[in-house]
Amino acid sequence: MTFPMIAIFSRTSSRVLAMALGATLAATVQASATTTVNWTGANNFNDAQISFAGFKADRLVDITGSGLYEACCQTGSTNFTLQIDLNNHWTTILQWSSTGDSITHSLASLVPPAISFSEGIVSGIKLTSSPDGTPSSDYNFTNLNYISYLSQQEYYNLYKYKYKSWDDFINCGDYDRYVHNMASFEFADCDVTPPNGPPPSATPIPGTLPLLVSGAGLFGAFRWRRKNKDSKLREG
């Protein structure tokens, strides 16, 4: 075996090992796809819903944005429900309640953890509450779709009664939180096929394979050196 042949053998063995390791790693990655739905419905309400083109999902993994909820009565409790249109049937996936503490709470604080449900086609989201808040002044859901083209100064002039000063308005972050912001719901489905096809099957790799590869290379090098030495002795 000549030295160039040894090098080729070593490179080939390394490639085989790398391909085997790559196949094993790829097989451990679970395929997943996510779809984000923006709340394009009402901004402030007690009960509302949106519809959209359906997609397959089995979990709600996140809620983001400026959406808020608040109990309607100072001394009572309000019940809230999140439903999805699953296979053309409204299905409840989350229920919670809040006491009348006059404090708004973020919808984003409800998820994660992820909410699992039977896999199907999701084509709508519905938010309901009971008892209802006062229409036009004290809705139970607020700021789900706050789209405004007001400048910071215009926003402050309109709502300055809420703030102690301009600095208070800037520091509280309301402008960035509400303007051009909306609630978003992120769904996921694990039972999907990646764009390039399913991941390769795992290829078992013997624990001694790296030693076999290196040992074969050393053995070839030894044979080459011995043959080269014998050839020189014959020539001498």
Token readout for 35 is 């779809």
Cβ(38)–Cβ(182) under 8 Å?
yes
Determine the pLDDT at residue 68.
Answer: 92
Tokens in use for 111? 């998820």
- Alpha carbon 222 to its chain centroid, in Å, reads 54
- Contact (Cβ atoms closer than 8 angstroms) between residue 81 and residue 127: yes
Enter the pTM of the model: 0.61
Q: What is the pLDDT along the chain (236 residues), one digit of tens a residue?
A: 544 444 444 455 445 444 544 444 333 334 568 999 999 999 999 999 999 999 999 999 999 998 999 988 766 789 999 999 999 999 999 999 998 767 889 999 999 899 999 999 999 999 999 998 877 678 999 989 887 778 889 889 988 898 999 999 999 888 887 777 889 999 999 875 544 555 444 444 455 555 555 555 555 555 656 665 555 555 55
CA 235 from centre of chain:
72
